[in-house]
Amino acid sequence: MFRYPNGKTYNPSTAPPKQRQPKETYSNRGMTLEEDLNETNSYYLDRGIAVIHKKPTPVQIVNVDFPKRSAAVIREAYFKQSSTTDYNGVYKGKYIDFEAKETRSSTSFPLQNFHEHQIRHMKMVLDQGGLSFVILSAFQTFYLMEAAILLEFWERKENGGRKSITKKEIELTSHPIPLGYQPRIDYIKVLEKLYFL
């Protein structure tokens, strides 16, 4: 016989039935791609693997209310300039610069998710010998697509071609990044194989 801490007897026939827990999927994890990458970059930084940070977006504050001295409230602000890519830093002496993008589409990745100034920026990084790429969250998988490949798809679009990258094209041209515990999105493993072996 079992008793609860309050002294009542446990009776299995009156216990509520156990509810089946839904199978956890990527979409139910409750974290965004950006949060996962920030956690990954903290892991790399803490262990001396790489120094990679999210770039702050430059904002011009126009109107601030001071209801009391300790609580300023921003009422109006504007982006000072178009941001370039999301992340940059250094790994093994190489400059790293990348963008992170997500899609819910199950068949393709829309190129409208990228802006002209981001594409120009990635090309300039490549021209200077830096490593530039995109981390895509698509089709319930993470992929690393090198900027040179993205530039080809962008050029195709600019020349009147397809305005998205098909799932098949991503699978053929990109490198899957396994999802882990620590680090969460270990993209450095992919960079090792591509550039440092």
pLDDT level of residue 39 (50, 70, 90 thresholds): very high
Q: What's residue 70's pLDDT?
A: 72
Q: How far is it, in rounded angstroms, from Cα 2 to Cα 98?
A: 58
Q: What's residue 173's pLDDT?
A: 96
Per DSSP, the three-state class of 137 is strand
% of the chain with per-residue pLDDT over 70: 78
The 10s digit of each residue's pLDDT in 42-95 is 999 999 999 999 986 666 677 777 777 677 777 777 655 566 788 999 999 999
Dmax over CA atoms of the chain, in Å, equals 77
CATH architecture, domain defined by 41-195: 3-Layer(aba) Sandwich (3.40)
Q: Are 170 and 138 within 8 A, CB to CB?
A: yes
Which stretch of 69-73, 119-123, 142-146 has the lowest confidence by average pLDDT?
69-73
The 10s digit of each residue's pLDDT in 3-35 is 656 666 666 655 555 555 544 444 434 358 899
Q: Where are the domains of the chain?
A: 41-195
Estimate to the nearest angstrom the gap between the alpha carbon of 4 and the chain centroid.
Answer: 46
Q: What's residue 67's pLDDT?
A: 74
Q: What's residue 27's pLDDT?
A: 40
Q: Which two tokens stand for residue 43?
A: 């892991």
Phi and psi angles of residue 14, each rounded to the nearest 5 degrees, phi first: -100, -5
